[in-house]
A and B are shown apart, each in its own frame.
Chain A
């Protein structure tokens, strides 16, 4: 049963992978045939490559934003982009392969709907994509840049850190590129290996002047992406690629905003605070129920949502209540964002003036 399900999963992913160039290269020649062969009994199940072990947990249908529609994460992104281009005539979307719909289908239909001067391909050059986006934003128009994989954002690092992040500050607020948003698929996907799985949020966390946001679900993605696009600071929006298809829930059709720099306590608890973002939120939700079931431990689960500027108050308030903190992320441990969270929380909690504020 489990084996059949695993095969089915893989089949679904292969079908999904058909459209994009990168995915074809990943698959390699001949692999599809192997996957189509039926597996034998139980003991071979262990030999099969495992996909990431988590279950996407949808949130209940939101009722306060009007009519909803079943959407997966990439469809929620498309919806947000559609809403943005509809209400902001200056908004443009650009990057590698966005014209035909994008390697993850996030921009399907937008070029036909809004025109080729608003949804267009750029040459294969991340530093150019971001630099170009900064220029558009400097004139006041809304620039939505796509980097094909977060793993490829590094050629644009100088533009992001030395230019975009510092534009307003260094000019004394004469100029800014606040209407720039950079989107990139992020995080592990099972078979992405070294260069299609990275989570580089920690590199950018060290850079004042930009905002970095990671959604856990389609509903969160659309609201957070719309907030990033409308935010008056350059934003990087990392989209967990493994959730593009795997995460499905009811998402409002009309635009709505989820505030940035606000963490969400998605489950209250009293014994330990668990913090995560993106895909890992679903893992720690599972951990929370396992802990309750097997250890009788009550976990408070927090989705950080915005990496910088992050919601120090919500996390600290929770840790003061529970007395324990666990942060979990995909990215490498050393210098990962968990170190910023744990050191700040320890610093803040040791500082008596915060305690007064919280208790009062």
Chain B
């Protein structure tokens, strides 16, 4: 009844309810539109009550005109466990992980670093077409990967190889993808670093083509959110993690992903690697608010900012986020502050837009690998002798995998046409046959020897 009264007042008594009024009533329903939203349990409307009745917000009235000032001077604080010298600051935050596990952190990060150096060089020598290093961000990969279950689904952007490394993806397969050789699980179809592994629940990387890389590539949170929703429905006890950089967070898909995750109550961790640059674009040109963490509350998402170069801080935050995301079916946003020590890719020379001093600072004074090494050494779990041995060993492992990968042929050219659809349609088969005939006649103009027969 109150609804009718309210509607009549809104529309004016002279016209009665009229056509529009009937529609308004139909929209509101007998018990009020608000009832459909689980969090809104307003039972009835009454104009005698001076509290706001709007379905769109739960808030009090204010009679003073005041704009909310965005706070970027003292933004969301950065959670950390170790200082820059690898010493624990607050012992109660030390995850007290066993030696074996922390050594695995260290070895994953350093093996990745070694592989990065060798593959970057190999691109410079023309052996592979392209490469992206992970320098400086190894802590974000390993700390987060270690906090997940092995079956949690990972959607990466392209600078998360450490997650795969932590999950024991073999060097042979990293190399195979970069070389696009016959052992590549992706069948040689994508540029280097576009890894994927079904067994290790790491969804194949995607990105636009190298010839026109837009600022802030499309990491796509949408699919990750959908996967999380499906995992929730299946009672899978799994979380989905979606990695992206601060540049990708500007994409419309990021906004869509956050909003869907919150409204549809999905068990997902949004992990933003804020490394200071999107190719050449510094954060001051990427956003004006308080980074990415500050956006979370706008969507109703639990959010935190962490020191991405502190592997224990990343670990703790991810672990807690995972526990709660699964238990409470809600998304979490972790913004890991870090620094991209390397160039964007082999197609980039970052000295064009930043100083060598700036890069050196991060390399020498605040590196996730050094900080963890200091921690290990202070625990007596690592020393210079072991460091020397491990460096030699990891380099040898990488070089062996590298040399083997280089010797293998590329996949057969007929694989250009398969997997477009699950079954090959007639038109594609005709194109495939046409290419085969072309190569029979003109094969001498093509490097067929490099491809598997």
Contacts and interface: CB of A to CB of B under 8 A. Distances in A.
Interface stretch (B164-172, B221-229, B284-292, B343-351): B221-229
B356 interface: no
Contacts of B335: none
Contact of A132 (B23, B226, B234, B419): B226
B57 interface: no
Contacts of A137: 226
Interface stretch (A5-13, A138-146, A287-295, A324-332): A138-146
Nearest to B252: A127
Interface string A87-102: 0001010000000000
A169 B240 CA distance: 23
Interface in B283-304: none
B196 interface: yes
A148 interface: no
A174 B198 contact: yes
A208 interface: yes
Interface string A135-158: 111111101000000000001001
B331 interface: no
A170 B223 contact: no
Nearest to B233: A117
A174 B197 contact: yes
Interface residues of B, number: 53
B193 interface: no
Interface stretch (A52-60, A159-167, A267-275): A159-167
Contact of B223 (A155, A163, A169): A163
A163 to B, nearest CB: 6
A113 interface: no
B422 A175 contact: no
Contacts of B252: 127, 155
A222 B231 CA distance: 29
B189 to A, nearest CB: 6
A135 B420 contact: no
A269 to B, nearest CB: 25
Nearest to A178: B422
A261 to B, nearest CB: 7
A195 B194 CA distance: 38
B206 A163 contact: yes
B220 interface: yes
Contacts of B19: 32
B231 A174 contact: no
Contacts of B255: 125
A140 B238 CA distance: 15
B421 A135 contact: no
Interface centre among B203, B221, B228, B256 (most CB of A within 10 A): B256
A137 B422 CA distance: 14
Interface string B223-259: 1111111110110000010000000000011011101
B234 A141 contact: yes
Contacts of A112: none
A123 B260 contact: yes
A174 B185 contact: yes
Contacts of B234: 90, 139, 141
Interface in B205-231: 206, 208, 218, 220-231
A130 B221 CA distance: 11
A278 interface: no
A162 B19 CA distance: 46
A138 B221 contact: no
B153 interface: yes
B256 A131 contact: yes
Interface centre among A90, A128, A131, A170 (most CB of B within 10 A): A128
A208 B227 contact: no
A309 interface: yes
Interface stretch (B1-9, B45-53, B101-109, B423-431): B423-431
Given A117-B233, A132-B256, A136-B229, 16 more contacts: A120-B264, A122-B260, A122-B263, A125-B259, A128-B253, A132-B226, A139-B234, A143-B226, A168-B419, A170-B186, A171-B196, A172-B186, A173-B419, A175-B198, A175-B203, A233-B422
Interface of B: 19-20, 23, 153, 184-187, 189-190, 194, 196-198, 203-204, 206, 208, 218, 220-231, 233-234, 240, 252-253, 255-257, 259-260, 263-264, 418-423, 425-428
30 contacts: A117-B233, A123-B260, A128-B253, A130-B222, A131-B220, A134-B223, A135-B225, A135-B228, A136-B226, A138-B203, A139-B226, A139-B227, A139-B234, A141-B230, A141-B234, A159-B220, A163-B220, A166-B206, A168-B421, A170-B186, A171-B185, A171-B186, A172-B186, A172-B204, A173-B419, A174-B186, A175-B196, A208-B420, A232-B423, A233-B421
Interface of A: 18, 24, 29, 32, 90, 92, 117, 120, 122-123, 125, 127-128, 130-141, 143, 155, 158-159, 162-163, 166-178, 208-209, 211, 232-233, 261, 309, 312-313
